[in-house]
Structure 1
Amino acid sequence: MLTRDEVFAVLQTVPDPEVPVISVVELGVVRDVDITPDGVTVTMTPTYSGCPAMREMEADVKAALLARGVRNVTVRMTLSPAWTTDWIGEEAREKLRRYGIAPPGRADQGGFVTLTRARPAVACPFCGSTDTVLQSEFGSTACKAIHSCRACGSPFDEFKAL
């Protein structure tokens, strides 16, 4: 049987299916691991309750652990506490930036995300300029918005803070 650290090391190799430059652990959706003689239970929190990538993440987590010899893998989903982009670590934020996605800012403490609130300028992941324009609150996935940079002319996604 794998140790807790070994299970987390395996899960670090499971990429987010929508943003494959970071793992499900780096994304912050893996909340806990419970190891018993019968197998491993991984507790995950979806980025939002309707996230279509969660089924893929669950299947990938199971496949990775089964490939490492774990006989029985259970993935348990929990909605509490609610996932927040604050669970994405600094190293993962830098990976997002290098990949061409503006990492999320800090989420509002105790507030609700709305589409009408004033938003701070988003730095371009390519040139670092904050002379950027929000093109659409809705990007390639629900967790991203589309921007463009006036300085270098590049379009880019922003991982929205939640």
Structure 2
Amino acid sequence: MVTSVLTRDEAWRIAASVPDPEVPVLTIEDLGVLRAVEVDGDRVHVDITPTYSGCPAMDAIRDDVILALTAAGFAQVDVRLVLSPAWTTDWMSDAGKRKLEEYGIAPPSGRAAHGSPSLSKGGPIRLAISVRCPRCGSLDTREVSRFGSTSCKALFECRACLEPFDHFKVH
């Protein structure tokens, strides 16, 4: 049996480096899917939250986290799927949003409405007027389809450069 002397911070760093299988320029930490890591001797517990409840990437993410942590010396890795609280684009890191834009996907803009103090008090809900093209920067864009390459993205078209692009929806 392999015995680990890795700390919680080291285990977090290893799990956090796992790439998202749908957008490989992002790690699961960038995306905000990695929620918790706990170390108990040679066992590590990892909590992940899907971007939406039917996300097909979660099995691949679970398997990749298990492989990364067992390769680092953990004898047992438990990956738990945590559905509550529901994932929100607010959990994405600023670095992740920059990586999305550099990759050609418009990052979410604004904050999710759920859980907002202004929403619970009947305050305004912010709406995106337009989405900036990640290629040329134009705001002259239009939504082509509410669903893009994955359910968490919408397909947009830039009227300036005529390029299609995904936009990570705020939720």
Report the TM-score when normalising by structure 1. Answer: 0.92
Paired residue total: 157
Per-residue CA deviations over 1:47-67 (Å, capped at 9, x if unaligned) read 111111101100000001011
Q: Counterparts in 2 of 1:73-152, with a 5 A limit?
A: 73-105=77-109, 106-110=111-115, 119-152=128-161
- 1:65 equivalenced with 2:74 (yes/no): no
Deviation at 1:120, TM superposition (A): 2.2
Structure 1 CA distance for aligned equivalents of residues 127 and 91 of structure 2: 23
Contact 1:14–1:61 (CA under 8 A) maintained in structure 2:
yes
Task: Give the residue type in structure 2 aligned to 1:121.
Answer: S
For structure 2, the 5+ residue unaligned runs are 120-125
Q: CA–CA distance in 1 between the matches of 2:35 and 2:127?
A: 31
Inter-partner Cα distance in structure 1 for 2:29 and 2:11? 11
**Superposed structure 1 runs of 4+ greater than 2 Å apart:** 117-120
CA deviations on 1:113-150 (whole Å, 9 max, x unpaired) are xxxx9642000001111100100001111011100111
Decide whether aligned partners of structure 1 residues 37 and 118 sit closer, same or farther in structure 2, where only a CA change above 3 A counts: closer
Corresponding position of 1:114: none
Cα distance in 1 for residues equivalent to 2:102 and 2:42: 40
- Stretch moving more, 96-105 or 5-14: 5-14
Give how far 1:38 is off. 4.0
